[in-house]
Amino acid sequence: MSQAETRTHKATDEVLYEVSAHIATITFNCPDRMNTISGPMLNALTELLLKADRDPDVRCIILTGRGRAFCAGLDLRGASSGSTGLSGTSTATDIDLRATPPTVLFNLGTPTICAMNGSAAGYGMDMALGCDIRIMAESAKMAAAFTKRGIVPESGGTWLLPRLIGWSKAAEIIFTGRTLTAAQCVELGLASRAVPDGEVMTAARAVAAEIAANAPLAVQASKRLMRMGLSEGFDEHVHHVFLQLLPLLKSADALEGMKAFMEKRPAEFKGR
């Protein structure tokens, strides 16, 4: 597919999907309810994340929303009626969460960028934290309102937040249910930058384009190693780095990267 070509896919009207210039964009499309997540949206999001990750033409994924909010959490109206499958009526102790968006998002090999067009609360905040990079609109906020609603960060927040900003700051935010401005998120390291409200997608696409211009196998291996490094010792990690490096050195992209450097020209990577 040429970089000028754009492909679209619709799993549901509530979640939109587009691929252009090696970048897949997944958009929450329920601005009337601030993109709160319904059961069908959960299924569609999982489907589209996996679709993008399996597509050899996709080198970066952008997750964003339409309207004034990125995602205001779960659709509690659906949850209260049991239609999302998230009601508290189940007593199962062997719930399989492997196909849920937070788990799928964490395990993707493809880099992910959250283009926070607006505020994220609850499930939406956890989902934003699950992305590799966050770029926020200046008016956007992150609301860790879980304890104010009598629940916990149910979608990875208790694992992600302490690793991103340290135990003390994460504890203060989660225990108090605090809401953070975009500027505070940048200061804490929860977001890479805050940009004017109308420029979030432009900024996200610029970063995605930089990522897509690099060797995709090397980018994916780097992400894989960073994720592994969260739970292993240094000696073990260096061993894994070496095992990742050996096949990369034999790839056509590694040869192209070295040739491009010697010839002082931009590399043209093919992902093989």
Do 64 and 184 reside in the same domain of the chain?
yes
Q: How many domains does the chain have?
A: 2
Instruction: Give pLDDT, residue 31.
Output: 93
Do 72 and 202 reside in the same domain of the chain?
yes
Instruction: Give pLDDT, residue 6.
Output: 67
Tell me what percent of the residues of the chain surpass a pLDDT of 70. 88
For 58-79, what is each residue's pLDDT tens digit?
A: 999 999 999 999 999 888 665 4
Q: What is the mean pLDDT of the chain?
A: 88
Length of the chain: 272
Q: Identify the domain boundary among 212, 237, 253.
A: 212
- Residue 161 confidence (pLDDT) above 70: yes
- Residue 94 confidence (pLDDT) above 90: no
Instruction: Give pLDDT, residue 87.
Output: 42
Do 133 and 187 reside in the same domain of the chain?
yes
**Structural domain includes residue 272:** no
**Structural domain includes residue 173:** yes
Do 175 and 254 reside in the same domain of the chain?
no
Do 249 and 176 reside in the same domain of the chain?
no
Instruction: Give pLDDT, residue 5.
Output: 62
Do 133 and 220 reside in the same domain of the chain?
no
- Residue 112 confidence (pLDDT) above 90: yes
CATH of the domain at 184: 3.90.226.10
Do 89 and 220 reside in the same domain of the chain?
no
**Structural domain includes residue 241:** yes
Do 176 and 232 reside in the same domain of the chain?
no
Do 183 and 119 reside in the same domain of the chain?
yes
Most confident listed range (31-40, 154-163, 187-196): 187-196
| CA separation for the pair 253, 216 (Å, rounded) | 9
Single-letter amino acid code for the residue at 133: I
Q: What is the mean pLDDT of residues 198-206?
A: 97
- Residue 80 confidence (pLDDT) above 50: no
Instruction: Give pLDDT, residue 10.
Output: 56
**Structural domain includes residue 271:** no
> Helices (DSSP H) in 145-233: which residue ranges?
157-165, 167-176, 182-188, 200-212, 216-229
Do 159 and 43 reside in the same domain of the chain?
yes
Single-letter amino acid code for the residue at 158: T
**Structural domain includes residue 270:** no
**Structural domain includes residue 106:** yes
**Structural domain includes residue 131:** yes
**Closest of 47, 24, 41 to residue 211, by C-alpha:** 24
| Structure-token pair, residue 221 | 């291996």
**Structural domain includes residue 231:** yes
Do 148 and 238 reside in the same domain of the chain?
no
Do 97 and 188 reside in the same domain of the chain?
yes
Per the model's pLDDT, the better-predicted residue between 260 and 49 turns out to be 49
CATH of the domain at 222: 1.10.12
Instruction: Give pLDDT, residue 189.
Output: 95
Pairing type for strands 69-71 and 60-65 reads unpaired
Instruction: Give pLDDT, residue 142.
Output: 95
The whole domain housing 227 covers 216-262
108 three-class SS: coil
Q: Angle 11-126-176 (CA atoms, 0-180°, nearest 5)?
A: 150
271 pLDDT band, cuts 50/70/90, is confident
Tell me the whole-structure pTM to 2 decimals: 0.87
